[in-house]
Structures are given as C-alpha cells and as structure tokens.
Structure 1
C-alpha cells in the first residue's frame, strides 16, 4: 500500500510517499480501506516535534524521532477485513474513527473498540472531518463545562475546525451562543446557528462588559487574566490548544493557567481529546446528532492523496475556515 511516512521531525517535506506492506488485522482489530482523512494541528505538531517540551511528556511526539510514523488522526473508509474476535463489523461496512495515526495511508488497522459506523448522511470526506475536532468540542462543552439549556456560551475561534463543531453542539444543547471570528467568516458562523457574532478585528470580547457561563477558548493567546473578564463568577474557562511555539506553547500557557486555578472562582478546564478513553461512545453520540441534522461538518478544502504535504502546509497556516480534508 501507499503511505506518507515520517522518519524524522521536520517540515511537510519530511513526509515521504512510500510503499509499505498492507497491514493485517490482529485479534480485535479491523482493517479499513481508508477513503478520506483530515489534517489538523495534531498532525503538524507531531510532524515537527513541537513544542519541544512535549517530547518529554506522555503522549508526546517522541524524544529523538517520531513515535507515530504514519500521521492522520482521522479516517473514514470501508471495512476490508476483520481480525479474530471482531463481532460488530463486517467487510463492506462504512466506518470512521479517530486512531491518532494511520490516516495518511491507503489502509489502516483500527481496534474494534475505536470504530463506529459512518453517519449515513455523510460522504467519506465529510465523515473524515469529524472525529478529532468534533470530539474535542464535545468533551469541552458536554463533559467539562456541562453546557445545557439557558447557558450563555462564547466560542473563540468559532470558524475553525473545532469551533465550527462547537457552535453547533452548544446550540444543540440549548445554549445561547456567541462566536468570535474574523470579518470574512462572520456569515459562516451565523449560518452555523450562532446567536451573536463578534469580529475580533474590531471588538474585544473581554472588554465589552458581557459575562458568559462558558468560554471555549480555541487556539488563542490571550492571558487568562483577560479571559476572566468575560466570565461570570462561577463560569467555566475551557482551553483548546493555543497559538503554537517552538519550545513551550501552547503547553506553557495551559500549565500557567492551571497554576492560577486554585486562586479564582471560575473553573479552569481542558478539552483533552488525546487522552480520552471514550472515543467510541463520543463518536456514536456525534453520529446521532449528525444524522438528526443538528451538526454538519464544514469543509474548507479537499486535497488528493498525493497532495498530503501541501494539505498539511495549508492547514499549518491557520486560516482555514472549517476542516481541511484529503480524499484517498
């Protein structure tokens, strides 16, 4: 099979198109013919091995060389074969998953415990855009902040991969939603159901006097002291990533914010999808919302398989509204 292999940390040019042996599913595993994957910050953090501090952390990219050599944390495709003990799936089933690696290849082995039937109303490309980004939003809003009817929720970075799902999920849970994005994406965020939109190039949501129950702070670099001004006294500040840096960020910002948590009245939370052990349950919940028409993926661009390095380079620029997808 063909796969893009990462043998050393570096730029997208470090991704080498290589011929590998087709994997065989072991006990409890399912061999998936990958039809689509998506590209996201998780991939290029692993590709570059940054921030460097993450190399010393559990779940990090690896110390001296990449721990995951075939990137691609999302995939959608068809079941090709099943391993011993697999009972839930059969060849030909259309599925999707968040295996944290393996999507940048024509085939991938995925544990049955991580795999879910693809939403019937989505294409493979649309389904591949869902797992990591939507799961992150779900964990942040449902599990961490416990968003429900009547809550006032602000989503910073509302036009990005996580943000577009977060706006829709918060609305599905009955919240009043404000989305923060740039001028060119205001109409997009409104179309997702946001009750209010804020153009961050013209307004500062931390200084307009409004107080929110939940602030889902996606990929920003404002200090927590600023964000607190936009939260109610018992509000929840949920962190999702942040502006990248070579040495410490966004990890440093997360650590410093949690260091302040014991001294403030607001809750400080982290939407940690990487260490989540409930991916199957979460994807099942997302499938129900998608098939009910309450959540719809937003795709910015679709690249072909041989354009994966270009897709990673484009996503790394950080301006894509919605998701960047690769068809295989």
Structure 2
C-alpha cells in the first residue's frame, strides 16, 4: 500500500482530501459558492459576460407556479426539467417531445403530467439538492444533439468538462451517454469519460466505472482521436467563468447544440477527480503550475493560450491511477 501511494504521488495523482483542502477550500470563498450551486443564479451571472446557456422557459418554486407548468412545457421540440441545486444529474427530466397522452423521455420511455408534477414536487422538497434544502425546478431549452459525437454516444447529449484553476483551464474530459446511464452524460450512472488534449481538443483515452476502455460500450466505435468542435471557444468560455464566479477552482460543463454551438450547462465548485483516470494523468503537476501562474493578471484569451502550454506532462502508467473513492460528492 505504501509503495502504491508513493507511486501515485510521484505521478501527480491527487485524492479527495487533497482536492478539498488544497484547492476547493483554499480557492473557493464560501460566500460565492451559491453562484455555482444554484443553476438559476448561474444563468443570471454569466449572461453579462456573453456566456450562452440553454434558454430558461420557466421556474417553479411553489404550488402557484405549478399551475403554469402546462405553459412552461408547451414546446414541441422538448424541454428539460432540473432541480436548481441538484448534483450528479439526479432528478433531471429530459423530454424529447409529445406522445399521445404524455411525453417521450430521452430514454425512450413515456411520462405523463401527473408523474412529471410528482417529480417536480420532489425537487421542491429538496430530494435532489445539495444538503437536502428546499429547492426550485427549472424548465429550459432541450439541447439538440450535435451528431459530431454520434458514433460514440448512445442517445442523450454528451458534454465537456473543463477544470479551471485561477482562470486557467488545466484538464478536459468529454462525457458520453450510454444505455446504462439512461442516455445521460453522467459518470456516476455508467457514462463514459474521455480525456481531451487541452492543446488540440482531441480525445485521447477513456474510462467507464473507473476502468479503462477503448471503444464505446454500446456503439463499439473507437473513442480515441475524436475532434471536439469549437474547442478554443469552449476553453475561452471556461476561462471567463473565473471572473463571473470569483471562484478559483471550478468544473465548467459545456454542451454542443447543433444549431446554437457551445452552451454552458452548469458550473461545479467541487469537480470530481475521475478526470485523472480518463486522462491517465495526475492533476497535481499541472495544478501546481497553474496555481503559480494564476496570480498574474491576464485576460481570458491570454489564459487560454497559456493553458495549451501546460499539457506537456506525460501520461502515467495505467496501474498508477486508482479508482475514485466512493465518497465522492460532486457531479
């Protein structure tokens, strides 16, 4: 065990405790955490910076708002209902369009209005929120799948996670839906994570359930060397989130819409460490570099250019990356 821990440290691999103490707690003032923990507030603060997000159709906070639900969901192209303070993709309802007497979910299953109201009431009660606090439900535009990832995705919409330290993007990962994840790009539910080269935007390596894989489990298509469109735009969007949140360590989740291009899905003040497994590289060395460079005043564009020079650390041996600890609490 001692030799394993020593080898992990030598390869820059960080654990949950180190992430929390050295980065999350040290760089994220508690008074600003609500800016990313509440997705409704996130939409409001990023808009002035020109960061696009899915259009908000309505907000349900109580029984009075629930009466407007038919109005909020009157969109034949579908919609998404999500808890404003949810995590790990819990409670999210993705509706593709109407069916006779109900609606069709992204998984292909059917949902009726009563079931939808029941799930929204669960959201309001805090069933899916951080800390179990009362919450609100957001109804918003359903992102239309950009088929650039069609061969390596099962239903649903993939997203891109970028970890940003003091405004400098340091690690990237493409998250892909699977049949097991019910069409959601969520690693905790069985989604696939692909490491992305920060300089080029191309996928490199992949994992599912913290195990290395080479092909998508449903499509059997190779996962390596797939180009992420709009990569520079995505990095710039991620870098800009530093100014608007005033948080020094965040995960920026971006989706690609076939008509609207990159859109910010959500921000996370406690991004998980499985991204190390997907990239087969420890975060430590790059984080140390970014911590030192991030104290200097730079524009978001300058920080993106700098980020591309930080991804020169060689991948570690697969055996040197441990599976993520089960107590992980981030999305």
> Shared topology, TM-score over 0.5?
no
Q: TM-score, normalised by structure 2?
A: 0.25
Q: TM-score, normalised by structure 1?
A: 0.26
